[in-house]
Amino acid sequence: MTSSAYQQQLQSKIERIENQFSCYQPPQLEVFTSQEQHFRMRAEFRIWHEQDDMFYAMFERSTLDKSKKVIRIDEFPIADLRINQLMPVLLDAFKRIPALGHRLFEVHFLASLKGEMLVTLVYHRPIEPEWEVAAKELQQQLDIKLIGRSRKQKIVLSEEFIIEELQVLDQRYQYKQFESSFTQPNAKVCEKMLQWACEASNGAENDLLELYCGNGNFTLPLSKHFRRVLATEVAKSSVYAAQWNIEQNQIDNIQIARLSAEEFTQAYLGTREFRRLQEAGIDLQSYDFETVFVDPPRAGIDDDTLQLLQSFKRIIYISCNPDTLFENLKCLSQTHRITKFALFDQFPYTHHVECGVLLEKI
């Protein structure tokens, strides 16, 4: 992977996004680049066993007959440098220690800019007590966190999360990131996304509604730019992580509602009452919303929620799928115009791209 290869793929993304969204007459596209190597904080590999050897592997699917070809992975330049440094050390341990390497199926890495590392080992066999002895010794030796998984088994030797630390403008934020939960894979580009979103808030003095808040990734830095924040998230594990993150960062103007976007729309419009809001001490009538922040899943936003968004003065929309963003804008552009437009190269060397738009009421 060369610098020219990176620039070429980035330029093709820029042209695709500019052409796709030209009908909405957005302002000039702001482009936020990625590191060209060592940008991914997550990586997952199969462990391929061949006679007395084993190695990390991925699969390449044929475009002709859909068959899969095993690709041996000795290094993975797009992954965090510490993941690359750890890969051969772990592989050597798997080969030397039968309790660790026997019928090992997959290895999952999760790293943080703060320097923490969580490794999950997935087996096609029951995990025996001797695994735990060997894994604890390896964990201590390498200063990492290890988890063992097998069918109906999950053994956490120390903790099932790592702490990430992100710099946004002049402040650092700490986040608890759980094994197997969603986290932004490109941490440095994530910092750029967070800063862009904060600057797009434009010094709002009212309250912020956030839908799909996850672990509070955007919620924490955005809270500095609003009087109060009400953030919604339906997954219990993400709600727990968000609440820990709020307390850890000593932020006192955020409330979390465990509701989906669709449920919040029903609660906000008064068509349905939710005991979860009452139990959390959340009074929707006490909020003065002018701005809404959304970072929806790839499927985009449902029709009822889109209609709700149309009532807000300002919409900050981060999208991991430009196609569903384009479709959602068919509705939102009836009431709003795009005043900021951004591309974040979260996934270099793939066709995937993240976009950001700031929409203001016409």
Q: What's the rounded mean pLDDT across residues 60-86?
A: 90
Based on the residue annotation, tell me whether 320 is a catalytic residue of this protein.
yes
* Residue ranges at the known binding site: 184, 212, 217, 233, 295
Q: Of 141, 142, 144, 146, nearest to 156 (Cα)?
A: 146
Question: Both tokens of residue 265?
Answer: 């729309």
Distance CA 10, CA 7 (A): 5
- Residues of the chain with pLDDT > 70, as a percent, come to 99
Whole-prediction pTM value? 0.93
Strands (DSSP E) contained in the chain are: 30-32, 42-50, 53-61, 68-73, 104-111, 117-123, 145-150, 153-156, 161-168, 171-178, 207-211, 229-232, 254-257, 289-294, 314-319, 336-344, 354-361
Question: Both tokens of residue 345?
Answer: 């190269």
pLDDT, one tens digit per residue, over 84-142 is 999 999 999 999 999 999 999 999 999 999 999 999 999 999 999 999 999 999 999 99
Q: Which of 190, 213, 320, 355 is labelled catalytic?
A: 320
Asked if residue 357 lies in contact with residue 340, where contact means CB atoms within 8 angstroms, the answer is yes
For the chain, which domains are there? Answer: 5-37+184-361 (3.40.50.150), 42-162 (2.40.50.1070)
pLDDT, one tens digit per residue, over 306-346 is 999 999 999 999 999 999 999 999 999 999 999 999 999 99
pLDDT, one tens digit per residue, over 280-301 is 999 999 999 999 999 999 999 9
Question: Both tokens of residue 119?
Answer: 């490794």
The reported pLDDT for the residue numbered 1 is: 61
Asked if residue 36 lies in contact with residue 1, where contact means CB atoms within 8 angstroms, the answer is yes
Based on the residue annotation, tell me whether 354 is a catalytic residue of this protein.
yes
* Residue ranges at the known binding site for S-adenosyl-L-methionine: 184, 212, 217, 233, 295
Distance CA 362, CA 354 (A): 25
